[in-house]
């Protein structure tokens, strides 16, 4: 049996710290998707834009955005992924939420906090990755700055799809392009990178460059620079199996243990 997964990637502008309007904008785009989509990927901090000012931008795990994600996931019968600012136990997390159509929630707290912008001074880092099975694919979602740290995403669990949600700015976009390809090549898996557009409160510019890359490091879905758009692509488990069967590079990987 061949497993296929149809993914929708939403490359959009974000309205600064306006959760309600961002949810409205995303609702319109999600409602326009065909009903055969299996996976919908939004950006990092998709309700606010990237900010280290968490005190006036956080939500809770039973807040409006979580309920909205569960509702849209159920309506489209698709997995819905994106990160937002969550407060829990008096701590702030850049938390990636995975909403399942049946009402299940999983989450991953961003491990590598962006010290260059002071994220580490406000947020608490996660200490474990999230890997889960969905429709025959093993998926690992990560957040933005995690992309620069290959050990954290090293494929020791048979991962088929790595997902990076981001607010990655224009001045360093070349690193984004190159590192996404590197993660696909070294892990022999699909990589989905979803980045935002527009300018934030600090006048920092974002130009997108969202992409889907196959297990050989070849881009199979590209987004035009500075263009707001939604695109879909069908991913094949056979592509992963055949690539790994032909090129057994993962069998030669080093053993290691991550200490957190």
Which tens digits make up the pLDDT trace of 175-205?
Answer: 999 999 999 999 999 999 999 999 999 899 9
Q: Is the dihedral of CA 153, 59, 205, 13 positive or negative?
A: positive
Query: Is position 74 within any domain?
Result: yes
Q: What percent of the chain has pLDDT over 90?
A: 95
| pLDDT above 90: residue 47 | yes
Query: Is position 44 within any domain?
Result: yes
Residue 144 a catalytic site member: yes
Query: Is position 256 within any domain?
Result: no
Query: Is position 82 within any domain?
Result: yes
Q: Is the dihedral of CA 254, 213, 170, 127 positive or negative?
A: negative
SS3 for 22?
helix
pLDDT averaged over every residue in the chain: 97
- Give dist(CA 51, CA 70) in Å, integer: 24
Alpha carbon 123 to chain centroid, angstroms: 18
pLDDT per residue as tens digits for the range 91-129 = 999 999 999 999 999 999 999 999 999 999 999 999 999
Query: Is position 258 within any domain?
Result: no
From the candidates 72, 76, 140, 144, give the one annotated as an active-site residue: 144
Residue 44 a catalytic site member: yes
Q: Which helix (H) or strand (E) holds 67?
A: helix 64-76
Q: CA dist 151 to 73, 100, 162, 257, Å? A: 31, 28, 13, 10
Find where tokens 């590079």 sit: 249
Threshold 0.95, pTM exceeds: yes
- Give dist(CA 196, CA 45) in Å, integer: 10
Residue 110 a catalytic site member: yes
Query: Is position 260 within any domain?
Result: no
Query: Is position 47 within any domain?
Result: yes
Total structural domains in the chain? Answer: 1
From the candidates 17, 76, 110, 181, give the one annotated as an active-site residue: 110
Q: According to the model, what pLDDT value does residue 260 have?
A: 82
Query: Is position 255 within any domain?
Result: no
- Give dist(CA 187, CA 249) in Å, integer: 9
CATH number assigned to the domain comprising residue 217? 3.60.110.10
SS3 for 28?
helix
Domain that holds residue 124: 4-250
| pLDDT above 90: residue 259 | no
- Give dist(CA 226, CA 203) in Å, integer: 15
Q: Can you read off the two tokens belonging to residue 182?
A: 């590197």
Residue 145 in contact with residue 174, Cβ under 8 Å? Answer: no
| pLDDT above 90: residue 162 | yes
């Amino acid at each position: 049996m061949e497993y296929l997964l149809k993914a929708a990637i939403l490359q959009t502008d974000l309205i600064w710290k306006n959760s309600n309007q961002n949810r409205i904008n995303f609702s319109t785009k999600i409602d326009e998707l065909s009903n055969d989509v299996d996976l919908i990927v939004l950006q990092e901090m998709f309700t606010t834009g990237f900010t280290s000012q968490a005190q006036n931008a956080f939500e809770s795990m039973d807040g409006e955005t979580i309920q909205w994600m569960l509702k849209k996931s159920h309506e489209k019968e698709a997995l819905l992924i994106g990160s937002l600012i969550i407060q829990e136990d008096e701590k702030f997390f850049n938390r990636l939420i995975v909403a399942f159509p049946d009402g299940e929630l999983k989450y991953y707290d961003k491990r590598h906090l962006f010290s260059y912008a002071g994220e580490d001074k406000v947020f608490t880092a996660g200490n474990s990755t999230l890997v889960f099975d969905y429709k025959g694919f093993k998926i690992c979602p990560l957040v933005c700055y995690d992309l620069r740290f290959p050990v954290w995403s090293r494929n020791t669990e048979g991962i088929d799809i790595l997902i990076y949600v981001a607010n990655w700015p224009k001045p360093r976009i070349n690193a984004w392009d190159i590192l996404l390809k590197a993660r696909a090549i070294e892990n022999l898996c699909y990589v989905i990178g979803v980045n935002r557009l527009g300018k934030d409160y600090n006048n920092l510019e974002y130009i997108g460059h969202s992409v889907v890359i196959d297990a050989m490091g070849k881009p199979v879905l590209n987004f035009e620079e500075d263009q707001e758009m939604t695109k879909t692509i069908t991913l094949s488990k056979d592509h992963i199996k055949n690539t790994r069967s032909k090129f057994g590079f993962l069998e030669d990987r080093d053993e290691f243990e991550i200490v957190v």
